[in-house]
Structure 1
Amino acid sequence: MQISKLVLILLFILQTTCFRFNLKRNSEQCFYEKFPNNTKVNLDCVAMSDRNSFFSLNISSKDNNTIFQKNKIQETSFSFVSSQISEYSFCFSNKDFSTQPKNNEINLYIYSRLPLKFQDLTKETGILSNDQLQQIDNFGDRLGFLADDLLYINKLLDYLKTREKVHRNTSESTNTRVLYSSFCLTFLIIIVGTGQIWYLKKSFKDWLKKKQD
């Protein structure tokens, strides 16, 4: 029973949004998240399609106050502290880039942690007593650090998968080019060899005809 109460409290402290979406060519896509005041918000995003995939990112509050803006990026990390209770927009765009894949696959992580102590939550919820909360005062921060580390590991794994995918596509493309080049070179050698045989045969016939004359 106490564990379920503790989990309920942690839901007030940690909030994570993690998903993957496709950003179509010459398009813009926005996501909206509402955060309480004085909440630390961390964002990590990376383009997964290939090494030539870029996007622009704009983060702004509901009153159109720009918090973060950057163009032509493949991967970025950013953190800020919400200054008010507001809905924040995270807008991705690739309208400024002409050489883009049809679908630019992007991984997005948004995780926030409320800077509240368990005692503060107890005053509002009354779920646990002060004596119990004294023993786990710093547990929320430790759990938040653990969540950050786990998200970093997850992001690193996605990066390794992306790099492996790009290298595999590059290797397959190189192998295809080598195969086609081999076919073309073989065809060229056959043509040159056939031409040389025909030329030598013709030259020998002309020489033999002149000798007979």
Structure 2
Amino acid sequence: MTVRLVLVAHAATEATRQARFPADDVSLDPNGTAAAVAANGALRRITTACRGPEERCRRTAAALGLDAVTDPALADLDIGAWRGTTLTELEADHSADLFAWLTDPDATPHGGESLTGLLARVARWLNELPTGTARIAAITHPAVVRAAVLHVLGAPAAGFWRLDAAPLSQTWLTHHGGRWQLRETGHPLTPAVAVPHPE
């Protein structure tokens, strides 16, 4: 019995394009919406769809034609007081706090969720998915995608900063024989180049 899971990073927002941590809940920008609509139909033979609780995940799922159920475990990394800021601004105003956050996975200088907490949350979610045959799509955030890849590879938390998950990129994982495997990651989600489901 094999679980096939595709993690899709939500479409672009204004904060994405500005390299800014989102402030509260932001929606998709017009280009992000158009890209998601254009990719409608790229995910075929999905039996279950879920998404993060944020508006940007809801709108991405809808644009992709998925009737996705909200799952709090797919929420973005909570960066607390840093919402709405850029890394450049943090380097200028809170360099010591930023350094601590980037080097210590337990650090929470922003008052939000630690990287360790995110990694544990995503690992728990993966381990609790159904073990029968299923094809699952999860519309979520780059941070969640990166955490899932680290868990599957058994990589250390420091690897989080070396991974990227662009808007509407897809990451395919499979679960068989009691363990997860990484099949594909980083490809854009468009009908023309969608990665086929592994059979």
TM > 0.5 between the two?
no
Q: Radius of gyration: which is bigger? A: 1
Please identify which structure carries the higher helix content: 1
Q: Which has the bigger relative contact order, CA under 8 A and spacing at least 6?
A: 2
Structure with greater proportional strand content: 1
Alignment TM-score, normalising by the size of structure 2: 0.29
Q: TM-score, normalised by structure 1?
A: 0.27
